[in-house]
Amino acid sequence: MAAPHEGNENKKPAGRRDHGARVARWEQRVEIPMLLLAGAFLVAYAWPVIDQSLDSDLRSMLRALSWTVWAAFAVDFFIRLYLAEHRAWYALRHWYDVVLIVLPMFRTLRLLRLLALLRMLNRSLAGTLSGKASMYVAGTAALTSVLGAIAVLDVEQHAPGANITEFGDALWWSVVTVTTVGYGDFYPVTFQGRLVAVAMMIMGISLVGTLTAAVASAFVSNIQQQDRKDTEDAKSAQGG
């Protein structure tokens, strides 16, 4: 007879085990299309922010593209929610998707879907754990810097007393923030810009921690391999 706790174990929400094969199959099918849509959204959002001289017709087209991508993300999420074995738990674990759909003013955060490109890069990597982590850190830092620059420029460039008014300055500020250097020559003055800065500071600290752990793991792995080699050589010498 099964132990009492086994029945409860089988009733755990899907988020603690798996959301189901149907969700996994759907995500695999739409991964590349959603990445392409995220790229289209990046263009539709960033172009008017960087180039203030765009004519009104082109701005309207880009705005329509932006809302179209938002609708596609919403449809994708509701399909995943329908396919999930435990829908409430799935929605709870994917709260950021709910926020992005319900509050489209946070549309810039949807660009974080571009970070899924790193998963695709990881599939083609055959190196050590430290090599994979280094690729993740480099790719994430680059994407975060660009997206952060666009986001902060969007909210800062027309603010009174702002010193981040051009994309070059925004990108410089973004890079020094993500790398935790923080020269202080450029800084956000709006509440929204400071929220972007806080998010990038947290991301930068996380990236530094990941890189440090990867380097330490590489050192430990090399030492262990050397110890095993020395042990094997010693045994061979004794046997000879």
Give 188: exposed, middle or buried? Use CB within 10 Å, 0-12, 13-18, 19+: buried
- The per-residue pLDDT for 40 is 84
Q: How far apart are CA 96 and CA 206, in angstroms?
A: 19
- The per-residue pLDDT for 174 is 92
Q: Is the pTM of this model over 0.85?
A: no
- The per-residue pLDDT for 183 is 87
Q: Does domain 125-232 have CATH number 1.10.287.70?
A: yes
Q: How far apart are CA 11 and CA 100, in angstroms?
A: 30
Q: How far apart are CA 238 and CA 228, in angstroms?
A: 15
- The per-residue pLDDT for 204 is 84
* Residue whose tokens read 């391999």: 225
Where do you find CATH 1.10.287.70 in the chain?
125-232
Residue 124: helix, strand or coil by DSSP?
A: coil
Question: Tens digit of pLDDT per residue, the chain (240 long)?
Answer: 444 444 444 444 444 444 578 888 888 888 788 878 878 888 888 888 888 888 888 989 988 988 888 888 889 889 999 998 888 888 888 887 777 777 665 555 555 555 555 554 554 444 545 556 666 677 777 878 888 898 899 889 889 999 999 999 999 999 999 888 888 899 999 988 898 888 888 888 887 777 777 677 777 777 888 778 878 777 777 765
- The per-residue pLDDT for 123 is 47
Residue at 46: amino acid letter: A
